[in-house]
Every structure is written in C-alpha cells, then in structure tokens.
Amino acid sequence: MAKAQQPPEQRLSFYLDILRKHLQKLEETVKTSLEDVPVVISGMASSTIGMLELPYKPLPFATDGSDLLTKTIAPTADFRHTTLLISGVKSDDDVMRGEETQLVGCQFELSEQEQLFLHPGTHAKHVRVQHGRALALKTYMTGEFFALLSKQAILANSVEEGGKLEEGNNLQWFEKGVRDSQQANLLHNAFLVRTNDLFKKATRQENYFYLSGLLVGSECRDLLNSIPAGITLAGEPVLVAHYSAALRVLGIADKCPVQTKTAEEVTLRGQLSVFTHSRIKEGTP
C-alpha cells in the first residue's frame, strides 16, 4: 500500500523490477530467452495501488476485447520488454479489474439472446452479455463475507476448513445451505451454522460447506428473477464446482446451459485477444 503513495515513475519502476526478476526465473525454468517477448498485464496492476493507474472504461465493451482501454509501456534499458497494461471497466455504480479480460477469454458468440459471465471469487462478478457486448455488471462480496464469517465471526468456532465438496456428507450440507438460502433471510440462516454445531447436527467441516451453500445460494438467487439463455462459469476449479452445484440445486442449470472454464484458461486467452487488437490499432505486425 505504501507504494500507492509514491510518484507514478517510482511505482512503475518498482513493479517492473519485480517482473524482471520473475521473468529471469522463468527463463531459467524453460531454458529459453524471453528478451523479445512482450508482457501483458491485467487486473489490479492498473489500479490506484498498482504499477500505473489507468481510468476505467465505461460499459458497454466488446467481448472480443477490441475496445478495452490499454497502455503500452515501451522497453527500457532496465526492462527490455514491451508491456501492455489492460485497464478495468465500470458501470454507474460498479467496477471490475481483471474479470473483463477473463470475459474476453470466454469467447462469447454473437447472439441476440442474453448470456451471463459468472466469475466466482472474493468479489464475484455477474456480467450480462448480448450482441457481442458486455452490457451490465453486478458485484457480490460472497467470498469476502465467507472469509469474515468463517474466520472472524462467532461462527469461526463452528466451522472447520478442509476436505473436498465430494467427500463424505459435504455436498449434501452444501446443497442444504443452498436450499435454505431460498427460504429465509441470510442474517437468520447464518446463525443456524452455530446451532448446527451446538446441537451436533453437523460436523464442523460439514458446517463449513453449509455456510458456503448459504452464501453462494444467496448470491445466485438473483438469477432466478432473470435466467439468461446461457451461463459461462469461469474461475478456480474449487469455486466452479461449488457454483455448478448451486446452479443445479436451484434448477437454473435445467433451464439454461452452463459451461465451465478455468481462470487460467480464460485469462491467457483474454490477454492474447486484447494484445492482438492493440497491435492492430497501433499498426504493429
């Protein structure tokens, strides 16, 4: 955070030096020179606490990445790579940095029907897509609320991290959490995590998945009011598994196709697409 207070030139130099060291390690690993390879960066690097602040692009934006805001940083004697920095996107009351590039990597087809990009995480993103453009954005603080409740609230004593969704009774308790999230207020349901433990209805690990189901179910509840023609669920495999289960329990997966992709896959594809369009704009082969 201290670097955010430094002049832009110092911040940029600081972060490029970190990148240089990582690129040197990568060269050693692959035993190949990367000197002429460009670097593409998306996410918080373009924020107020990143290497160089770029303004948000207002919605809508093209899902092929052709009109996202970018900045090319020329190579220097200290950092010999051309660097492309990709900015984030904003609506009237919401923002995202990084997920816009992942959305591009999902390679949405042009369609008159409304599609949904769902990226689970600390701040889950729901982006509505139509006619090859991302039109509307909603952020849900699902992951952050889960971390606070499971680690800092009184519920921390009633849950235990560990195990996988498919192990033991974890899936059943997750599904119960999703179903319960539709029946009562989250502020009440959350206390059931404590009573589940007090009355020995669930183990603490099962309770962990129950709490997860409550929160993910509460988030996905909004989709029942406007089910899209299709959902692309992209993120880390563990979270994708949780959300896939929630969409199935809620009946959403029965009403529209849900395809899943990994965060790594869509990030790399999205960065390549944005980079290609930036070269075209610059007239660079």
Question: pLDDT tens across 73-102, in order?
Answer: 999 888 999 999 999 999 999 999 999 999
Q: Which two tokens stand for residue 159?
A: 């849950």
* Whether residue 2 has pLDDT greater than 60: no
Percentage of the chain surpassing pLDDT 90?
90
Q: Model-level pTM greater than 0.75?
A: yes
pLDDT attached to residue 1: 47
Task: List the domains of the chain with CATH numbers.
Answer: 2-98+264-282 (no CATH), 142-263 (3.30.420.310)
Whether the per-residue pLDDT at 285 is higher than 70: the answer is no
- Map tokens 């051309």 to a residue: 82
43: tokens are 């996410």
Residue 266 has pLDDT above 80, yes or no: yes
pLDDT band at 280 (very low <50, low <70, confident <90, very high): confident
In this prediction, residue 35 carries a pLDDT of 85
Residue 109 has pLDDT above 60, yes or no: yes
Written as six digits, the tokens of 235 are 């993120």
Q: In Å, what is the CA distance from 193 to each residue of 40, 142, 146, 245?
A: 43, 16, 12, 20
Stretch 197-218: mean pLDDT: 98
Going by C-beta distance under 8 Å and a sequence separation of 6 or more, which residues neighbour residue 98? 42, 43, 44, 88, 267
Band (pLDDT 50/70/90 cuts) for residue 283 is: confident
180: left (phi over 0), alpha (psi -120 to 50) or beta: alpha
pLDDT, tens digit, for every residue of 66-78? 999 999 999 988 8
